[in-house]
Amino acid sequence: MSVGRRRNNGRKVDGILVLDKPGGCTSNEILQRVKRMFGAAKVGHTGSLDPLATGVLPLCFGEATKFSQYLLDSDKAYVVKAKWGEKTNTADADGEVVERCATDGLTRELLESTLPDFRGGIEQVPSMFSALKHKGQPLYKLARQGLEVEREARKVHIVQLDLLDFDTEHFSLFVACSKGTYIRNLVEDIAVAIGNLAHVVELRRTWAGPYVESQAKTVEVLSETLELGGHQALDQLLLPLSSSVDHWPCLTLSESSTFYLRNGNPVQVPGAPLDGWVKLIGPDEEFIGVGELQDDGLVAPRRLISNCN
């Protein structure tokens, strides 16, 4: 190998895998495992799930990493099961119980009457056991050192909040919410609102942005696919890059508009919306990236894939 030549660290793989994350591992741990299975050079995820959590975790391969931020910013949904009468230092079953209380007087009607207060816009103070950073250090690392720092409340939006199941030991909720929502905090706050304690014992993400649970592939399915068909078979499980923004307005460009956009120039596109973000399709019906409407009505390129013509 000549001096200065970069070592090949993996295959060029482009696309999105909807992974069914297993419990008991971090999002990064399972990402690295899947990356090795694919032999891929570049993979990123679109928002961490707690080690306890399972479910939809979109993984972006290669060029798809350019669009991971839009998935990170999207709404998500969860089914959460919580245990009454106990508070833990992490707000979930992975932590240590720090406080207990009686569960006498809890009723389904009492819980249901409290839920409307947590729908719509609410504020949350992030847990010390979160990935938010304080002076460059993740809060959870500080928490493990026994340290606590002041955290500002953050505004989030609870799109949907429904009670699925209830008894005096556990309750289960369906939650659809904006990015940055901490389900552990939500469970704790709901319990406190009715004079009790609770922590998360099960958490499953059922959708994230445009991706739903039925699309998710388990690690076991990936392993079987690799064994039977190798990398070629695994690649067939990837969704196209465009799937990350399929819910956006779509504009089809002429050959000349595509050329100018590819060179960083805003263009006029007939039928474009007045504002917002758009999915861009080239003259050969290939996905070329995303753009944003400017105040002057022109479409400006924002993220373009590099392998389009």
Phi, psi values for residue 75, rounded to 5°: -70, 155
Let me know if domain 15-73+211-242 sits in CATH 3.30.2350.10.
Answer: yes
Q: What one-character DSSP code corresponds to residue 148?
A: -
Q: What one-character DSSP code corresponds to residue 37?
A: H
- Quick check: do 15-73+211-242 and 76-208 share a fold? yes
Helix (H, G, I), strand (E, B) or coil at 35: helix
* 58 contacts 70 by C-beta, under 8 angstroms: no
Least Cα distance to 238 among 222, 262, 252, 258 occurs for: 222
* 46 contacts 68 by C-beta, under 8 angstroms: yes
CA distances from 262 to 229, 247, 289 (A): 36, 23, 10
Whether residue 50 lies in the annotated active site: yes
Catalytic residue, from 14, 20, 50, 235: name it. Answer: 50
What is the spatial distance between Cα 109 and Cα 99, in angstroms, rounded to a whole number?
25
Least Cα distance to 292 among 308, 271, 275 occurs for: 275
* 269 contacts 299 by C-beta, under 8 angstroms: yes
> For residue 67, which amino acid is it?
F
Give average pLDDT by consecutive 10-residue segment, the chain, 309 residues: 52 96 94 97 89 96 92 94 96 94 95 97 80 67 68 90 97 96 95 97 96 97 97 97 92 94 93 93 92 94 76
Domain ranges within the chain, ordered by starting residue: 15-73+211-242, 76-208, 248-304
What is the spatial distance between Cα 48 and Cα 233, in angstroms, rounded to a whole number?
27
Least Cα distance to 28 among 16, 45, 42 occurs for: 45
Residue 20: strand pairing partners: 56
What is the spatial distance between Cα 188 and Cα 200, in angstroms, rounded to a whole number?
8
Per residue in 257-290, is it b (16+ CB within 10 Å) or e — as a string? bbeebbeeebbebeebeeeebbbbbbeeeebbbb
Q: What one-character DSSP code corresponds to residue 82?
A: E
Look at residue 5 in the predicted model and tell me its pLDDT. Answer: 44
Which CATH code for domain 248-304? 2.30.130.10
pTM to 2 decimal places: 0.89
Look at residue 45 in the predicted model and tell me its pLDDT. Answer: 86
* 283 contacts 46 by C-beta, under 8 angstroms: no
- Alpha carbon 199 to its chain's center: 22
Pick one of 3.90.79.10, 3.30.2350.10, 3.30.530.20, 3.20.10.10 as the CATH number of 76-208. Answer: 3.30.2350.10
Residue 16 exposure: Cα atoms within 13 Å on the Cβ side: 27
